[in-house]
A and B are shown apart, each in its own frame.
Chain A
Amino acid sequence: MNKKELTEILFKLTRQNGVSGDEFCASKTAAELLKKYTSDVTVDDFGNVIANIGKREEGKPHIMLDAHIDEIGFIVTYITDEGFLKISNCGGIDRRLLLAQQVEVLCSNGQKIIGVITSTPPHLESDDKKAPKLDDIFVDIGMSKENAQKLVSLGDRIIISNEPYTLLGDRITSKCLDDRAGVVTLIETLDLLKNELESLNCSLSVVFSSQEETGERGAKTASYKVNPDIAIAVDVSFARVFGDSKEKCGEMGKGPMVGVSPSLSKSLSNRFIQIAKDEKIPYQIEVMGGTTGTNADAIGVTRGGIKTVTVSIPLKYMHTPVEVISISDIENSARLIAEFLRNGVEADA
């Protein structure tokens, strides 16, 4: 796909909501997109999208390509007498950006209602500027308790809604690029291989897993089911922003970040780096001292252990509604994974 098409499907996916544990809208859209490449696509009881491609045979390695479909958000825990909502987080929301954010309450009846996160005016605050605790804020939906109760149920999810936009060059901003950018990378990988999917010397399961943000739970059950020989977890990682230290981050626009970590398969990491070099695909090495904070952590210890590697798209402002990525990093990540599936599998299986 060209940059425009990639941007379009990415925007299509980020416009769908899929807060952890309630991924249905996003899962459904992603599953539809996979149907272009295989008819064997299901959404399981856990909310995982699983698509099988190629004939699974003895002696032929089976590869699981994973990206998580869920996004961070909130969950309604209480309605106050004044009609304001108390909320808890689903995933690690950045509390520094909560005040006066516009949100959408995704009501269980399907309706979406607008709200604003409360913000106490400065003259009423005693301390200096702190990131609020979730306990200190409410969601203002401009309703009496009676009216609120007619629409909102405890357990409804809330998201910070933001239209996606194109910025300068091929950079784009949206909510939940973590990890819809990974989802699009895998769709693009299939697209690059669309004429050779049946002739690959491996079979594939593409998994868009649920509940990564609340503890890599979808990937755990999905990888048990899929039972692959090799898994590639595609997620986002830190692109350096103003104020960041160089050693902690990758750089936007400089290609996929290949994970190197004691928790990952060293041979797979090396294989990916070699392919990037051979094919002249820009890449960056992301060294992590322990586990990776991605689905790779759960997948790697599934059943009797699965060889796993991470390929990450550099992203700015992680876990905010204004995440930024470069489309070129999706393109190069997809090229790298496609090239591995074409020529690199044998060496590791």
Chain B
Amino acid sequence: MLDKMRELCLINGISGDEDKVREYIISKICDKCEYDVDNLGNIIALKKGRKTPKNKVLLSAHMDEVGLIVKYINDDGSLKVESVGGIDPRVVFGRQVTVGENNMVGVVGGVAVHNLSGDDRDKAVLFDKLTVDIGALSREEAEKAVSLGDSVYFRSDYIEFGDGFVKSKAIDDRFGCALMLELIESELEYDTYFSFVVQEEIGLRGAKAASYTVNPDYAIVIEATTAADLPDSEGEKSVCKCGDGPVVSFMDKSTIYNKELYKLAFDTARENNIPCQTKTMIAGGNDAGAIHISRGGVKTMAVSVPCRYIHSPSCVASKDDMKNSLELVKLVLNKLYNRQ
């Protein structure tokens, strides 16, 4: 699973521009299951098991990542950009980025701190002040290399470090994609649906269409979620902790989760000695928000890997948490197929 996650994280695909991620996923699943690509670009796959279950179960993860989009070229050849998905501009300023189809290197800069006065030195550089520089010295020079609407990506290696941690861009949600690929490549007892969806980061849009099409009885969203387990976050403020296992929430900003499934997840984890935790703040949201209110309603849960510095070029997650998430999903899945 980790090999696939490394490859997936290094692929560029912001919301609405997920083609390369989709191509990679299709190359991995094409001879292992039936699949279809819908009008939005979602991959909807059916992995045949040995048996047909009583319930239709859907697993879902999103292919898109947060990034930037070019919206204007200044006279001096620098590019104005807007964020695609929720990004703190402070994790954009002073970074290398990749611009457009030709993977050009650019950097994000602004007025040097020395040239600012007083208060401005302490202010974050917001999106209206920062620019992407591809080295062009004029608009004409830049226009030859980029077009408005080009995607801009964080440039960040996938690196394993410390005591079993991974640092990369896009762990949210290439982790979910990698986990689902792992399941599709394995033998499954029952028929199972998988949706690799687009446009999560700009409002859970792909999942809305995909869950309508699949029309499942149960859904499990596989995600990465905010961990704030830093030395200065006390009590509930850490939200969840890297190393304490997969996260199953009772509620976030987009979903009040099905209680029965919430309990099932923790019971399953306990029975099998898999660490499992919940979130201690009502924060964030994911595709469950779209799926659980699809058609007449779908019983939905989310299993997420805790991730520090999410939506930044340097997301950090624990390899043990990823492995434990996979184990937990497998076990919970088996309990859903024929649930009364």
Contacts and interface: CB of A to CB of B under 8 A. Distances in A.
A, B co-complexed:
yes
Interface of A: 80-82, 84, 92, 94-102, 113-116, 118-124, 129-132, 136, 138, 140-144, 147, 162-163, 165-169, 171-173, 238, 240-245, 248-249, 252-253, 293, 316-322, 324, 326
Nearest to B167: A116
Contacts of B89: 129
B6 to A, nearest CB: 15
A120 B137 contact: no
B336 to A, nearest CB: 31
Given A99-B88, A131-B121, A118 B105 contact: no
Nearest to A123: B283
B305 to A, nearest CB: 15
B61 to A, nearest CB: 21
B300 interface: no
A310 to B, nearest CB: 15
Nearest to B237: A124
Nearest to B312: A100
A171 B138 CA distance: 13
Contact of A317 (B74, B112, B281, B283): B112
Contacts of A243: 110-111, 129, 131
A124 to B, nearest CB: 6
B115 A249 contact: yes
A250 B150 CA distance: 30
Give the 10 A-B residue pairs with the shortest CB-CB distance, closest first. A142-B162, A167-B135, A97-B94, A171-B135, A322-B107, A100-B312, A129-B124, A142-B165, A168-B135, A317-B109
Given A173-B96, A243-B111, A322-B95, A131 B122 contact: yes
A100 B161 contact: no
B94 A317 contact: yes
22 contacts: A94-B113, A95-B113, A95-B121, A96-B93, A96-B123, A99-B90, A100-B91, A113-B161, A119-B91, A119-B312, A122-B88, A124-B239, A129-B90, A129-B126, A142-B162, A144-B163, A167-B104, A167-B107, A168-B135, A241-B111, A241-B131, A317-B112
Given A142-B165, A322-B96, A169 B141 contact: yes
B58 to A, nearest CB: 28
Contacts of B237: 124
A140 B94 contact: no
A147 B163 contact: yes
Interface of B: 74, 76, 78, 86, 88-91, 93-96, 104-115, 121-126, 129, 131, 133-137, 141-142, 145, 156, 159, 161-165, 167, 226, 228, 230-233, 237, 239, 281, 283-284, 308-310, 312-314, 316
A243 B108 CA distance: 13
A242 B74 contact: yes
B137 A320 contact: no
A97 B90 contact: yes
B124 A116 contact: no
A283 B285 CA distance: 55
B87 to A, nearest CB: 10
Given A102-B314, A131-B121, A168-B145, A92 B309 contact: no
B125 A167 contact: no
A118 B105 CA distance: 25
Contact of B309 (A100, A113, A144): A100
Contacts of B162: 113-114, 140-143, 147
Contacts of A119: 88, 90-91, 309, 312
B113 A96 contact: yes
Contact of B115 (A82, A100, A244, A253): A244
A79 to B, nearest CB: 10
A189 B284 CA distance: 57
B281 to A, nearest CB: 7
B94 A321 contact: yes
Contacts of A249: 115
A172 B316 CA distance: 29
Contacts of A120: 228, 230, 232-233
A141 B161 contact: yes
Contacts of B281: 123-124
A186 to B, nearest CB: 23
A116 B114 contact: no
Given A84-B230, A100-B309, A253-B137, A131 B90 contact: yes
Contacts of B159: 102, 114
Contact of A173 (B107, B115, B129, B145): B107
Contacts of B226: 121, 123
B109 A142 contact: no
A121 B115 contact: no
Contact of B111 (A123, A169, A244): A244
Contacts of A166: 105, 135
B313 to A, nearest CB: 7
B139 to A, nearest CB: 12
B327 to A, nearest CB: 22
A80 B233 CA distance: 13
Contacts of B114: 92, 238, 293, 318-319
Nearest to A97: B94
Given A94-B113, A99-B90, A322 B108 contact: yes
A167 B105 contact: yes
B96 A96 contact: no
B135 A169 contact: yes
B137 A241 contact: no
A168 B134 CA distance: 6
Contact of A94 (B94, B164, B233, B239): B94
Contact of B113 (A92, A123, A142, A321): A92
A324 B135 contact: yes
Contact of B156 (A102, A131, A132, A138): A102
Contact of A101 (B94, B121, B164, B230): B94
A326 B308 CA distance: 37
Contacts of A84: 230-231
